[in-house]
Amino acid sequence: MPSKTDQRIFRDTAIKAAKAGGKVLRGLFAKEIRIEYKGERNLVTEADRAAEAIVIRTLRKQFPDHRFLAEEGGAQDSAGSVGSVHKWIIDPLDGTTNFAHSYPTFCVSIGLEIRGEIALGVVYDPLREEMFLAEEGRGATLNGRPIHVSKTEKLKASLLVTGFAYDVREDLTNNLDHFTHVSLRAQGVRRTGSAALDLCYVACGRFDGFWEMKLAPWDTAAAFLIATEAGATVTDFNNRPYNIYLKEILATNGRIHREMVEVLGLKRRSRP
């Protein structure tokens, strides 16, 4: 556990970096920007790269000996960071497809991993000016106010959210069967296009649960802690403990978790 002084410096610098990245995104939103393809459906824009550069620059200025893992740049360790127990895990623009289409749902996500455990999470929505924050063991907040998961008791009364991997057209191991099973049992299912915001919305009670497949560490590093600190139950689809390097995530208010595990198991039971 870092000292109180270190915690404050980590927190304040992460918030500063998230706001700097968010300012870049806000300035480029709904304007003509360069868009490239990392795959048939996987986009990257100049906004991703510009936001990532300023986030890493802000963090590295304060923590030159820390390690970095970012969506666009990958692992960005320096000679002085080899062996460091601190790793910043960054998604500079979670919701790139939304951003590229001028759809106003995206965020900056910054998580700090210390000795393999997420100790700090910051998720910033620059358009709504919503700053979600969590520190290990200290709860979660939205713009400085404590947040908690919903109290919905039953799946049939729940509003849920999910997403689909970029290879949904190519890989039969996708989310389409799960989407069907859950949609037939929940009050509603949404698809926002930002896994980090989905988890934060579970944390603050806007959604009762979230599930997705094939996410990367930078998609969930910050928001996983935010959801957990807000009281969410977070596991894989088989109800085993979650970590950010797994490829399945289920996050709920806890009250509907057992039902969600059962429904997500229907796909496997329906096949030989």
The pLDDT-based confidence of 267 (bands split at 50, 70, 90) is: low
pLDDT tens digits along 33-47 = 787 776 555 677 899
- Rg over CA atoms, the chain: 18
Q: What is the C-alpha to C-alpha distance for residues 56 and 47, in angstroms, rounded to an integer? A: 14
Query: What DSSP string runs through 180-192?
Result: HHHHTTSSEEE--
The pLDDT tens digits for 169-198 are 776 678 999 999 999 999 999 999 999 999
Q: What is the pLDDT of residues 85-131, one digit of tens each?
A: 999 999 999 999 999 999 999 999 999 999 999 999 999 999 999 99
Whether the per-residue pLDDT at 133 is higher than 70: the answer is yes
**Structure-token pair, residue 139:** 């709860």
> Which burial class, exposed, middle or buried, applies to 140 when counting CB atoms under 10 A from its CB (0-12, 13-18, 19+)?
buried
Closest CA to 108 of 33, 62, 145, 58: 58
The predicted pLDDT at position 73 comes to 83
Residue 157 pLDDT: 98
pLDDT at 44: 77
pLDDT digits (tens, 9 = 90+) for 212-246: 999 999 999 999 999 999 999 999 999 999 999 99
At how many degrees (to 10) do helices 217-229 and 195-203 cross?
A: 0
Which CA distances in Å does 271 have to 137, 172, 211? 41, 13, 21
- Entry pTM: 0.93
